[in-house]
Structures are given as structure tokens and as C-alpha cells.
Structure 1
């Protein structure tokens, strides 16, 4: 069980699309706006974990054409989220992003977040500590996971919101938003390279 807790902690503190988007929303729109996104992210994460635990995700990902379509949708949506963060409050682009990313965006992100599937597969297929009671093991893993996952994401959201509260100039805030968006894109393209 201790190994599971350590694995959860280290898998979650490494920045992935969920963490970077959460921090970016905090920096671009503030803490309260980010909470709506985070609730969607949390529910989407739970559903993703259930897809992995049930084996449905493994079955779906064995179909090469479907896997390609999902990968394309994933990259497209993550690029869209990066654009929304980068253009928040800026007068650049075709249409500045003036409304924060909300619950639905958080929910959808988890379905196409490659790190969510990797983390769920690692945690739920490994670290067996109750082989005689697999349902209880899954329930305990979900509780432990969320006891770490939620505070980690709240800290990232608060860090992003803190940047927003610093009363930085519009130019500096724009640079921070763009850096958050570029960081998200770097993670996306690193995941693409790793998946090949």
C-alpha cells in the first residue's frame, strides 16, 4: 500500500495536460473560474479510471483506426485548450478568449488526456495489495488517489491564481499565459513522441 501511495504522489506531481491547464486557467481567469474546470476534470478522471478498470479502454485502443482518430481528437483538443489559455485577455488571435474554460472542458479533457490513461493503467493494474477482495482494492485506490489528486490540482490552481493576483502588466500576464500554453503543447508533443 505504501508503494501505491508513493506512486500516486509522483505520477500526479509531474505536470501533465490536466495540471498545466488547471494552472493556466488559474493564471488567466482566477481561482473561482478554475474550480468549475477542476470539478469537471475530477469527474472526467473518475470516469476515465472506470474505463481503465473495466477493461473498456484497452479494448477500444486495440483498434488501430479508432486509436488514430482518438489521438487526433486528443491533440486537437489540447491545442485548442492551449490556444484558449494563451489568448486569455489578449487582443491577439481571431477571437480573444474572454470566458473561462468551465466544467465541460475539464470533463472532456480527461477523456482525451493520454496521461490519465497511463496513470490509471499503472495504478489499477499494478500494486495489488488485496487480491482476495479486488472490489475493495479498487475502492481504496480511488479514495487514496483522490486524497492526493484533488489537493495537488488545487495547489496548481492556487499557484496560477496567485500569478494572476500579482497585478502584473498586461504584457507580462500575456507572456505567462503563452508560456503556460507552450508548456501544455510540449507535454502533448512529448506524449505523441512517446506513443510512437
Structure 2
């Protein structure tokens, strides 16, 4: 729930003025894209190097709360890039902008919630089928990069 709330609030922030400010300064937009791309490559590298060594610690830990999910999204450059891109593509400016912003954020929240729910169920189901974690991690890292 925290990830969804974080993404929805980032959409509100982007739609309330950040997106036009970023698009007004094209170099800032390019810098965000570059930083987001570098972050994705870092995540891919980290994933490729991951192992099962500390998996017991993760199984015993309590799941993160809403605040942790929101904080994770606020530190996630991909979420900011998606929000800024989404507004520049899908949300029209004009006299109905406020209503369009509310509808867009609501639809995005629902889709994000359903996507994360399906992703969690699929991950839980398929995690027992993974035989070679190293091969899986490298494969996922390649897809991410």
C-alpha cells in the first residue's frame, strides 16, 4: 500500500507544478533521465551480484510498512521520471486540469495496486520453482538493464 501511496503522491506533486518546471528546463529533464538510467544500471548490477546468502534474514523480518513504501518511492528516480513523463503525455492542460489530475492519479493508483498485487502473488508462487538463483538473477538483471 505504501508504494501505491508514494507513486500517487509523486503524481500529484508532478502534476501540481514540478512537471511543467522540468519540461521548461530541458537540461533538467535530460539530467533526470540520465540519473534514472544510471540508477537502473546500478540496480541491474546489484541484482546480478545478489545471492541467497542472507535470505533467512529477509524471511524472518517483518514486512515494511506504509511509510517505508512511500519513502522508497520518493527515493526512486524511476517513479519521478514516470510521473513527469505521464503528465507530459496523458494529462491535458486547460480549465479541467484539476479534475483530469484527480482522475489520472486515481486510475494510476488502482492500476499500480493491481499490478503490485499480481506481481507479489506471482513472485510468491514462482519463488519455489527457482532452481538456479544465480542464473535467475543475471537474467533479471539483463532484462532490467
For this structure pair, what is the TM-score category when the shorter chain's length is used for normalisation? 0.5 to 0.7
How many residues were matched structurally?
136
| Distance verdict in 2 for CA 1:140–1:65, change over 3 Å | closer
| Distance verdict in 2 for CA 1:157–1:178, change over 3 Å | farther
Structure 2 gaps of 5+ residues are 59-63
| Distance verdict in 2 for CA 1:39–1:117, change over 3 Å | same
Q: Residue 62 of structure 1 is aligned with which of 24, 28, 38?
A: 24
1:108 paired to 2:75 = yes
Matched residues in 1 for 2:47 and 2:82: separation? 20
Structure 1 gaps of 5+ residues are 1-37, 186-196
> Does the Cα contact within 8 Å between 1:73 and 1:112 map onto a contact in 2?
no
Matched residues in 2 for 1:66 and 1:98: separation? 42
1:145 paired to 2:108 = yes
TM-score normalised according to structure 2 size: 0.67
1:176 paired to 2:139 = no
Matched residues in 2 for 1:72 and 1:139: separation? 29
Matched residues in 2 for 1:45 and 1:148: separation? 11
Cα RMSD between the aligned structures?
3.4
| Distance verdict in 2 for CA 1:154–1:85, change over 3 Å | farther
| Cα displacement (A) at 1:87 | 2.5
TM-score normalised according to structure 1 size: 0.53
Matched residues in 2 for 1:69 and 1:132: separation? 31
| Cα displacement (A) at 1:150 | 0.8
**Counterpart of 2:76 in 1: which secondary structure?**
helix
